[in-house]
Structure 1
Amino acid sequence: MSGGLFALLDDVAALARLAAASVDDVGAAAGRASAKAAGVVVDDTAVTPQYVAGVAARRELPIIKKIAVGSLRNKILFILPAALILSQFLPWALTPLLMLGGTYLCYEGAEKVWERLFHAPAGHHDQDAETVQEQFGPEHEGPMVAGAIRTDFILSAEIMVIALNEVADEPFVSRAVILLVVAIAITILVYGVVALIVKMDDVGLHLTQRASAAARRVGHALVNAMPRLLAVISVVGTAAMLWVGGHILLVGVDDLGWHWPYDVVHHWEERVEHAVAGVGSALAWCVNTAVSLLIGVVWGAIVVAVMHVLPWPKKVAAAH
């Protein structure tokens, strides 16, 4: 009897170890997939605070919560099933779709650079922010949240497709679980950070009214840091979009059979890695990142030129 009990306990322990290993595998895969989507995540984090500009302080967090719930619904109910069906029945379409998303990232990043350098008309994110500032009453919250969720759908789709590409070789159930983890984790991360950013100035203002001189100094520092923080996030987000978009295109053309661009970059990485002892791997990563960023800038500039500089888009827009 005791032998049977010990055997049962051994089986339970083995199952527990197997389950723990599976959880570790899912966590590691979700981490890798999330890291690859870093550029879009930073962009999403940089864009979302604009939607609550001009909104009463007491309504900021409820609005962010509504947008977060809508974002999670986008990912779980619409994007996740579509991504799983695509990976199961049309896996060959994943690379072109990913490259399309990479092109969109390059375009978004290059458009931000174009606006900053040449003071071109504001992009869609800035237009959305201006609209929010003009329409900040309670009656406008519904349309504003709906618009934010629609914009988030595009960014969420990019995040999920990038994540899917990292786990495309996993079994179907594992893919579903990993993407579900990514969807929940990314949403919590993005909108948690957004909530902290949005309320930073309120916390600072509260501290400036405290009796303690140290608290007042911290409060003024937080209030003054808010514009700088948003500016840094915007710059980092732009660079991340160009880098991630360029890397997606570099790897994508290799997967489609055009190998020489990736082979050249890989050769440069190997030379740097072996030439510099100790930090060779880090410098090799920098080489890949720099080339990916350059590709993103060049390809994004081409798309921006097609969309905004060449005369035919204006004629098409006028015709409509």
Structure 2
Amino acid sequence: MSAGLFGLLDDIAALARLAAASIDDVGAAAGKATLKATGVVVDDTAVTPQYVHGIAAERELPIIKKIAIGSLRNKLLFILPAALLLSQFLPQALPVLLIIGGTYLAFEGAEKVWEFLHHHDDHVGDLETVEHTPHEEKQLVAGAVRTDFILSTEIMVIALDSVKDETFLARLAILVVVAIAITIGVYGVVAAIVKMDDVGLLLAQRRTSGVRALGRGLVAAMPKVLSFLSTVGIVAMLWVGGHILVVQLHELGWHAPYDAVHHLEHGAGGGLLGWLVNTACSAVVGLVVGAVVAVALHLLPHRGDDPAH
């Protein structure tokens, strides 16, 4: 009887080691998949602060929390099941869906460029906080979650591509880990950025003169940092949108834009300069496509208008 008990314990220990090894494999694969999507993760982090720029301080964290929950919902309830099913049964549909998403992202970026240029003179030097009604706050969060949906789709598809040789269940486990880790990482960083001025206020009340000076510096710098990140976020929309379009059109067989961008990138010598050239070209593509879509959408509602009126 004792021999049977020891045999059972051995079996349990073997299963535990196998489970631990599987967890380690999932963790390692999730780490690699997250690393591969780093570029889009950085863009996601840069895009989000613009949605709380100028918001009353007490509403910043609640809004970020709502956006983070929406982002996690996007990844786990919509993007992950759709990406897994499409990759399993209809992989050729993924590039088309990404092109639609990239076009929307480019449109969002172009719209924000237009708003910036059109209203720039009205808001120069205006850094006052804005009070939002619950309805306006809800719309703001909804807009941020829509934009996050496109960026999250790109992140999850990149991660999926890096683990496409794994079994279905392994891919599911890895992508769940990626979704949770990236969401916590992105919105944790965003929360830290937007609350840095509050940290500065606390430091400015300390007794040590050096700490007080650091605190005052943080308070003075954060409006400029948030304004800069807001601009970076707009450029990131255009870059990521254009990059998605160029790469996915290449996947579908239209190689000219991709080849032209990479020819310019290699002509710049690769490295950081090559990356900057690639980024600039993708941003231009995003701006052009986004502007065309924006103009079309703004003109279409007026097509039936009577010129006499």
Q: Deviations over 1:26-61 (max 9, x none)?
A: 3111221343354344212432x24x8236x3x654
For 2:226, the aligned partner's letter is L
Unaligned regions of 5+ residues in structure 2, if any?
1-10, 123-127
Counterpart CA distance in 1 for 2:44 and 2:73 is 18
User: Which residue in 2 is equivalent to 1:287?
Assistant: 277
What does residue 301 of structure 2 align with? 313
What's the offset of the Cα at 1:10? 11
**Structure 1 counterpart of 2:232:** 236
Which residue identity is paired with 1:288? N
1:11–1:204 CA distance, 2 compared to 1 (3 A): closer
Could you tell me the percent identity over the aligned residues? 47
Instruction: Quickly say closer, same or farther: Cα 1:224–1:317, change in 2 above 3 A.
Output: farther
Matching residue of 1:85: 85
CA contact (8 A) 2:27 2:174 kept: no
Unaligned runs of 5+ in 1: 1-7, 123-128, 274-279
1:225 to 2:221 alignment: yes
Contact 2:43–2:233 (8 Å) recurs in 1:
yes
- Residue number among 144, 161, 165 corresponding to 2:157 in the alignment: 165
Report the TM-score when normalising by structure 1.
0.75
Structure 2 counterpart of 1:28, one-letter code: K
Q: Which residue number corresponds to residue 255 of structure 1?
A: 251
Which residue does the alignment assign to 1:3? none
Partner of 1:23: 27
Amino acid at match of 2:30: V
Displacement of 1:282 = 3.2
Matching of residue 269 in structure 1 with residue 271 in structure 2: no
TM-superposed CA distance for 1:198, in Å, is 3.1
Per-residue deviation at 1:234?
A: 0.9
Please state how far the C-alpha of 1:173 moved relative to its aligned partner. 2.7
Aligned pair 1:133/2:131, yes or no?
Answer: yes
The letter for the 2-side match of 1:208 is A
Q: Is the 8 A contact 1:107 1:303 kept in 2?
A: yes
Residue 260 of structure 1, CA deviation: 2.1
TM-score by length of 2: 0.77
**Structure 2 counterpart of 1:299, one-letter code:** V
SS of 2:195's partner is: helix
Aligned-pair Cα RMSD in Å: 3.5
Mapped contact 1:83–1:160 kept (Cα < 8 A): no
Contact map agreement 1:41 1:159 (CA 8 A) in 2:
no
Q: CA 1:193–1:97 in structure 2 vs 1: closer, same or farther (change >3 Å)?
A: same
